[in-house]
């Protein structure tokens, strides 16, 4: 029998009403939202009743998605499903670390709130934008980025899909070059140039914040966005690096498959990661877990 990985959704997957039905069917999920409300009053109300516009603000998005990510994983665990490995996409990496016990759930939530504030401030200080480049290979996209000093490849999502971040004017020029090369660049609805050098001030702020937050050894391997390898050594340095470094998601999925993982549960809102995993590893079984219906389907109910 193959191995199991839990993968945790990132920013951009949020939607109004997320997580509410999980609380109706899982005491463990409900407890996560109770913890979230104790740490940041109103978090569950934002998830369950907030507008799309309200949830799109980074300071709201990150703690809300973290809560749903962790609630979905706890619901699976409550039902007897446990992973051999975990990983998370961008923000989801913090939920993965908390689920694996590297953070306490409370400390993970505190860090997510600080991360959201720092990244939103960095985005205001250094405005950026992002676009997904389709139909071109990674090396082609990297070559197109090279002439620009404020455009960088940041999310290596799956074969044929690489997200680029940059200063808005340069990114528009870059998108024209993509079209000339036969590719397609789709702008993303985000508030900054995440996972790029535009986040340097956020990384600096978080380095100080992490010195005041406890970190322990995870109880199962947590694959890092920045390296596509399990966390080890200086975990704080890797978490700081993650904010301004590319997300190597395709490599992470390939590394997990090489370890014998053939079943992935996406914990959190949406099913974006399921789609990326299937494009990277066509034989994998993927199950989104974001509400009562998908939890039941994942459990075979």
SS3 of the chain: the string is CCEEEEEECCCCCCCCCCCHHHHHHCHHHHHHHHHHHHHCCCHHHHHHHCCHHHHCCHHHHHHHHHHHHHHHHHHHHHCCCCCCEEEECCCHHHHHHHHCCCCCHHHHHHHHHHHHHHHHHHHHHCCCEEEEEECCCHHHHHHHHCCCCCEEEEEEEECCEEEEEECHHHHHHHHHHHHHCCCEEEECCCCCCCCCHHHHHHHHHHHHHHCCCCCCCCCCCEECCCCCCECCCCHHHHHHHHHCCCECHHHHHHHHHHCCEEEEEEECCCCHHHHHHHHHCCCCEEEEECCHHHHHHHCCC
Return d(Cα 264, Cα 274) in angstroms, integer: 8
| pLDDT (mean) for 116-136 | 95
Q: Tell me the average pLDDT of the chain.
A: 95
Q: In this predicted model, what pLDDT tens digit does every residue of 57-66 receive, in sequence order? A: 888 999 999 9
Q: In the prediction, which pLDDT does 185 show?
A: 96
Q: In the prediction, which pLDDT does 227 show?
A: 96
Q: Given the structure tokens 């939890």, which residue do they identify? A: 295
Q: In the prediction, which pLDDT does 233 show?
A: 83
- Active site amino acids: 90, 195
Q: Going from the N-terminus, what domains does the chain have, and what CATH number goes with each?
A: 3-124+196-298 (3.40.366.10), 128-187 (3.30.70.250)
pLDDT exceeds cutoff 80 at 223: yes
Q: In the prediction, which pLDDT does 296 show?
A: 96
Q: In this predicted model, what pLDDT tens digit does every residue of 142-161 receive, in sequence order? A: 999 999 999 999 999 999 99
pLDDT exceeds cutoff 70 at 1: no
Q: In the prediction, which pLDDT does 105 show?
A: 84
Q: In this predicted model, what pLDDT tens digit does every residue of 230-250 receive, in sequence order? A: 998 889 999 999 999 999 999
pLDDT exceeds cutoff 60 at 189: yes
pLDDT exceeds cutoff 90 at 190: no
Q: In this predicted model, what pLDDT tens digit does every residue of 200-222 receive, in sequence order? A: 999 999 999 998 888 999 999 99
The pTM of this model reads: 0.95
Q: In the prediction, which pLDDT does 301 show?
A: 55
Q: In this predicted model, what pLDDT tens digit does every residue of 262-298 receive, in sequence order? A: 999 999 999 999 999 999 999 999 999 999 999 999 9
Say if residues 47 and 64 touch (Cβ distance below 8 Å). Answer: yes
| pLDDT (mean) for 94-117 | 93
């Amino acid at each position: 029998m193959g191995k199991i990985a839990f993968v945790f959704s990132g920013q951009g997957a949020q939607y109004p009403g997320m997580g509410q039905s999980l609380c109706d069917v899982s005491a463990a999920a409900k407890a996560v939202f109770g913890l979230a409300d104790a740490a940041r009053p109103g978090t569950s109300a934002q998830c369950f009743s907030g507008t799309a516009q309200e949830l799109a603000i980074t300071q709201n998005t990150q703690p809300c998605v973290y809560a749903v990510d962790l609630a979905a994983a706890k619901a699976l665990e409550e039902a007897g499903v446990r992973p051999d490995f975990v990983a998370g996409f961008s923000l989801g990496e913090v939920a993965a670390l908390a689920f694996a016990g590297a953070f306490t759930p409370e400390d993970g939530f505190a860090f997510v709130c600080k991360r959201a504030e720092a990244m939103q401030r960095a985005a205001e200080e250094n405005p950026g934008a992002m676009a997904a480049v389709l139909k071109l290979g990674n090396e082609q996209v990297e070559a197109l980025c090279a002439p620009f000093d404020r455009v960088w490849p940041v999310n290596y999502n799956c074969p044929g899909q690489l997200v680029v971040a940059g200063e808005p004017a340069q990114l528009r020029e870059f998108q024209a070059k993509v079209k000339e090369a036969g590719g397609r660049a789709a702008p993303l609805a985000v508030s900054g140039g995440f996972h790029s050098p535009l986040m340097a001030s956020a990384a600096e702020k978080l380095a100080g914040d992490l010195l005041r937050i406890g970190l322990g050894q995870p109880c199962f391997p947590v694959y890092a966005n920045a390296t596509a390898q399990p966390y080890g050594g200086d975990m704080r340095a890797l978490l700081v690096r993650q904010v301004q470094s590319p997300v190597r998601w395709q490599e992470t999925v390939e590394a997990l498959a090489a370890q014998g993982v053939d079943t992935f549960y996406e914990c959190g809102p949406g099913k974006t990661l399921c789609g990326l995993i299937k494009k990277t590893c066509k034989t994998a079984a993927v199950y989104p877990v974001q509400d009562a219906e998908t939890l039941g389907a994942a459990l075979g109910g």
